[in-house]
Structure 1
């Protein structure tokens, strides 16, 4: 675009944007005011604005962009404030410098203004730039920089204007442009990425504002300057102008920014709003926290399951059990099911995927022996007796068993008596796993071997879960931690080692428990002819924590088979024992009541006092009755005694039937 007179455009543009807010009482010939309190002012002489309410200001182009969200030049053209002359004549558009001299010299001096060296910028006929540096020796410039120590450009200004912030730009041309605008600006000789440590001392305790060019080289240069001045400068800001000028071209610089219609006040405002170097930007941090239209108007994706209806995907969970219960075998069995896509105790696997089993308790040979149990039996698990054969090809493709026995591989580590914190091994593991496609489950066996803190410390346990969450986030995998539970527990959530924070910090937890192991139950087993060794084979897999699926309390009853401890689904032995005990009790009760009933009938019949069924029920049943049982139980015994021929019924006159003992009639 040709040069734009923003001052002349200030009034028509302001009236178009804010006509309904025009404050005529506070406006004057040189200034327009808008808002009930006149908080927005437009300087008609300079084409600048000042928002007193937000304490911001700048040029007319920046104001247009703030109010419309459009590029300022585009908006002026669309609203017929200026003609579109882009691409016409010798003058380039507003993003380009209008004229470049064929040769320019920039002299670098010491604090007293004495020459030290100069930088020469030249352009050939094709417009290609070249730079030369000449040292100043014995009163004249020479084509050598031997013995010359680099200094910042305009060092005299820098050393005298000590209270002002220092703008560090790329190139002498840009520095002079800002100096002419009233800002204190400097640069280094040699271009981007040529910042020398000798320059650092000149910025001690200064407020530094770095403005890189809009390209990768410029961004790297800004980082290098920050690293050099981080311990020297008072404050550092890095101003990326493309955040204000959305259409800033690649390689654009601060001069291009000003040529595009922005003014020095816009630059100062952007610098003021920029956070200090090293301070996180809350706006960027919250960028993924915004509530979007999609979140309000569409249905979110369904939660993914690793094991349908049992284990959600992408969480950190725990499987806990006392030593020797078979928790590692259970974890391996789950790993094989997921690797092969075979159901895990009746729960379908959505699709076969890769599993990494990290074993810190069992060496490679022991892991091999356990795996061989499945291969030998050619089954993964049973669902009501139906076997699930192993797909050997999928198993080889998807299951990785890494033994770390004897290695110091800690996901957390405590220094002295402090809280254990995530280690570099945790990040290294995440980087390794991230290189393997489709790993969806990582087994960490066991918590005590991978935890460098105190096993029952709440704080250390929470940090261990945090390390596993980082691993899950980086890899997208579900992390299952195999942990111990206290001896004598009943498979409840409180039995898990690691303290309350261990379970609280996880999203899912299950226990494996020998549910026939307490003394009273073992006595019941013995009464039913179940040997101790058989009782110990029966375990239950119980979900004791679940944040997502609503399955807390779900229990799967299992039996460790003779094939190396492979778990098979089995009926609940407590139910079996209970039913058996009921049957035994019923048999004993029948024999006792039948004998009493026979004696009772003999007595009554001998005295011609015959008993009918209704009389037996109404007169002699109940806890206080002759037999001490309910009418229901008494009638069941009577019915069975008649069926078995112990008793029989004889018709009575005029009606009814009396009860008699069959053996007495035979005599």
Structure 2
């Protein structure tokens, strides 16, 4: 009986989605070593194993750095979830929620200009969000905080899907800013170029804005007070940086995901206000 190579296919799809070139040679799927900055396309070999996928970087002589670069742990290499231990569930579903019955339903990896993993956000089925940074010295390959004991940030502040954002900017495309990763993917699924910050409303910073210098930007404001305030703040950081800024809201529902789920198109968002100059209040509902 042949078992479907679930993990192998998932990894191949992930690399394709990241824009990484792959090729088959010598019985393995081969790709470049993004774990050490990239080089020849055959440095990393990916093979189907008896219960999952086997990954080996010939330059790193292992898989830890490569897995960290793509936001995976050892547990993600298995076709089926690993057995639960007495201490915690398997790494591919575990999230540090107070309720251990919560399961991971989405994972969003934030990458830098070179497609290297900076940090990630893991979402559970009860809408909890946990941020992590790569850590090769832990069993999970992650540390579940982005700051040290004194509150100092240990990772860079980058917008979500930064490599794709930079490509879109180079092609002079409009960049859409949503409040969260789910809405970003709703926009991307409809052929748009979108980004956001980690942590939801109120967490956008001037550092995020610097990556949008000279771009035409459309901000999707959630239809509530936090969403309105978030949009105002995003616009303020883009003043004098972006070429133009529009603010829109969903025609139906609260956010971009609701808007598309209701069957509307990108041209049917409600425009809240037009480009610069920036008024003090968009009058968002």
Q: Tell me the TM-score range normalised by the shorter chain.
A: 0.5 to 0.7
Report SS of the residue matched to 2:246: strand
Name 2:235's counterpart in structure 1. Answer: 226
- Give the whole-Å Cα distance in 2 for the aligned partners of 1:137 and 1:173: 25
TM-score between the two structures when normalised by the length of structure 1: 0.24
Report SS of the residue matched to 1:239: strand
Q: Would you say 1:133 and 2:131 are equivalent positions?
A: yes
Q: Would you say 1:110 and 2:117 are equivalent positions?
A: no
Name 2:12's counterpart in structure 1. Answer: none
Report SS of the residue matched to 2:106: strand
Name 1:151's counterpart in structure 2. Answer: 158
1:300-324: CA deviation from partner (whole Å, max 9, x where unpaired): xxxxxxxxxxxxxxxxxxxxxxxxx
Alignment RMSD, CA only?
2.3
- Give the whole-Å Cα distance in 2 for the aligned partners of 1:198 and 1:137: 24
Question: Compared with structure 1, are the counterparts of its residues 215 and 132 closer, same or farther at alpha carbon in structure 2 (3 Å cutoff)?
Answer: same
Question: Compared with structure 1, are the counterparts of its residues 279 and 114 closer, same or farther at alpha carbon in structure 2 (3 Å cutoff)?
Answer: closer
Q: Would you say 1:170 and 2:179 are equivalent positions?
A: yes
1:223-265: CA deviation from partner (whole Å, max 9, x where unpaired): 1111111121111111133xxx3xx44xx11110111121234
- Give the whole-Å Cα distance in 2 for the aligned partners of 1:143 and 1:133: 6
Q: Where has structure 1 moved over 3 Å in runs of 4 or more?
A: 137-140, 277-280
| Deviation at residue 121 of structure 1 after TM alignment | 1.1
- Give the whole-Å Cα distance in 1 for the aligned partners of 2:278 and 2:129: 36
Report SS of the residue matched to 1:121: strand
- Give the whole-Å Cα distance in 2 for the aligned partners of 1:277 and 1:254: 23
Name 2:275's counterpart in structure 1. Answer: 276
Question: Compared with structure 1, are the counterparts of its residues 171 and 279 closer, same or farther at alpha carbon in structure 2 (3 Å cutoff)?
Answer: closer
| Equivalences for residues 602-613 of structure 1 within 5 A | none
- Give the whole-Å Cα distance in 1 for the aligned partners of 2:128 and 2:276: 32
- Give the whole-Å Cα distance in 2 for the aligned partners of 1:114 and 1:212: 29
| Deviation at residue 102 of structure 1 after TM alignment | 5.5
Question: Compared with structure 1, are the counterparts of its residues 105 and 279 closer, same or farther at alpha carbon in structure 2 (3 Å cutoff)?
Answer: closer
| Deviation at residue 109 of structure 1 after TM alignment | 0.2
Q: Would you say 1:161 and 2:168 are equivalent positions?
A: yes
| Equivalences for residues 260-299 of structure 1 within 5 A | 260-267=262-269, 275-278=274-277
Q: Indicate if the aligned counterparts of 1:238 and 1:277 stay in contact, CA closer than 8 A.
A: no
Q: Indicate if the aligned counterparts of 1:149 and 1:198 stay in contact, CA closer than 8 A.
A: no
Question: Compared with structure 1, are the counterparts of its residues 119 and 102 closer, same or farther at alpha carbon in structure 2 (3 Å cutoff)?
Answer: closer
Report SS of the residue matched to 2:230: helix
Question: Compared with structure 1, are the counterparts of its residues 178 and 223 closer, same or farther at alpha carbon in structure 2 (3 Å cutoff)?
Answer: same
Q: Indicate if the aligned counterparts of 2:186 and 2:260 stay in contact, CA closer than 8 A.
A: no
| Deviation at residue 178 of structure 1 after TM alignment | 0.9
| Equivalences for residues 503-582 of structure 1 within 5 A | none
| Deviation at residue 266 of structure 1 after TM alignment | 2.8
Q: Indicate if the aligned counterparts of 2:239 and 2:278 stay in contact, CA closer than 8 A.
A: no
| Deviation at residue 277 of structure 1 after TM alignment | 4.1
Aligned length: 167
| Deviation at residue 217 of structure 1 after TM alignment | 0.4
Q: For the pair shown, which has the larger CA radius of gyration, 1 or 2? A: 1
Unpaired stretches in structure 2, ≥5 consecutive residues? 1-102, 148-153
Name 2:261's counterpart in structure 1. Answer: 259
1:536-557: CA deviation from partner (whole Å, max 9, x where unpaired): xxxxxxxxxxxxxxxxxxxxxx
Unpaired stretches in structure 1, ≥5 consecutive residues? 1-100, 285-667
1:200-227: CA deviation from partner (whole Å, max 9, x where unpaired): 2101111111001100000000011111
Question: Compared with structure 1, are the counterparts of its residues 109 and 279 closer, same or farther at alpha carbon in structure 2 (3 Å cutoff)?
Answer: closer
Q: Indicate if the aligned counterparts of 1:209 and 1:239 stay in contact, CA closer than 8 A.
A: yes
| Deviation at residue 133 of structure 1 after TM alignment | 0.2
- Give the whole-Å Cα distance in 2 for the aligned partners of 1:133 and 1:109: 14
- Give the whole-Å Cα distance in 2 for the aligned partners of 1:207 and 1:264: 15
Question: Compared with structure 1, are the counterparts of its residues 197 and 275 closer, same or farther at alpha carbon in structure 2 (3 Å cutoff)?
Answer: closer
